Amino acid sequence: MVLFAETAAGTTIENTAYARYKDAGGYEYLIQSQTVITTVSEGYHLDITKDVERTVYSPSDTVRYHIDLSNSGNIDASFVKVIDTLSDKLSYISSQPAATVAGQVISWNLQNIQSGATEGIDLQCLIAPDVVSGISIENQADYVSLDEVSGRSQPATITIGSRSDLLIESNINQATAFAGDTLTYTITVTNTGNAPATNTILYNDLPYQVDFVSSSGNGQFYQGIITWVIGTIPEGNSITETFRTVVKDAVNPGMLLNNSSTVTCTEGTGSSTQLLIQIIERILQPDLSIRRTNIP
């Protein structure tokens, strides 16, 4: 049966089959089938939307998108493919449900979307670390059904803001130490963000088992803490400070010295690190001498 295009959804169509025949005596009969009633359906009707958790991000942030595919029609939609082509400034991390990943093209095969139902997809992406502040990144999701019905969401747009991001690393000139040893520490602070870190201050909390000797730059020692007022660290730049301590004589072998460094700035994107060193026992070598004595 073929319906005309102007037939309205919800129209009911009745169909009955008839047959006429005669028997051997010439009597004529008329028979009919049961009536079949068909309701014209509007079919499935899909709509896709895409949202983002927030609108302003920084380089290296994780972006969380949510995609909804809704079926407002009156029949189920089967074998629908959702496609999301990521910007070259984004990289795929994970999704729920699991996706098929081919370069920047992320896709999901949805087996069945029931009438009146909505299927949701959660997608996590990573922003490239070198993205320039101020740009916008648009992202859209598409769907295509088995019978090639397709649609596209409105774009979900994020903007890259300016942010500093301080990374701190510390090193020591030896892995173990004896009581009385002089230790030299090196601390490096790097701004890995895309904006200057202002009013930067570096703190180092000394372990109680050591005595302060000296520090580089404008480092000031007070009550177990060395403080450097660094100021501004431009994006991509590093500063390095050093200091020296002496392990106290009363420190017992086997103890761990826990040195803690912290950096802060006005933008609030600091970090901290800890460095451990173990005190070991000094083995004294015997000091032997031989003296000959004449015995009468």
Which residue segments constitute the domains of the chain, with CATH numbers given? 46-160 (2.60.40.1510), 166-279 (2.60.40.740)
Mean per-residue pLDDT, 45-52:
95
User: How distant, in Å, are the alpha carbons of 18, 83, 205, 253 from that of 71?
Assistant: 40, 17, 60, 71
Tell me phi and psi for residue 49, to 5 degrees. Answer: -130, 155
Answer whether residue 145 shows pLDDT above 90.
Answer: yes
Q: What is the pTM of this model?
A: 0.53
Reported as a single tens digit per residue, the pLDDT across 99-124 is 999 999 999 999 999 999 999 999 99
Q: What is the pLDDT of residue 290?
A: 62
Q: What is the pLDDT of residue 130?
A: 87
Please indicate whether residue 2 or residue 143 has the higher confidence score (pLDDT).
Answer: 143
270 CB burial (10 A radius; 0-12, 13-18, 19+): buried
Strand partners, 116: none
Q: What is the pLDDT of residue 260?
A: 95
Q: What is the pLDDT of residue 239?
A: 97
Reported as a single tens digit per residue, the pLDDT across 220-249 is 999 999 999 999 999 889 999 999 999 999
The pLDDT mean for the chain works out to 88
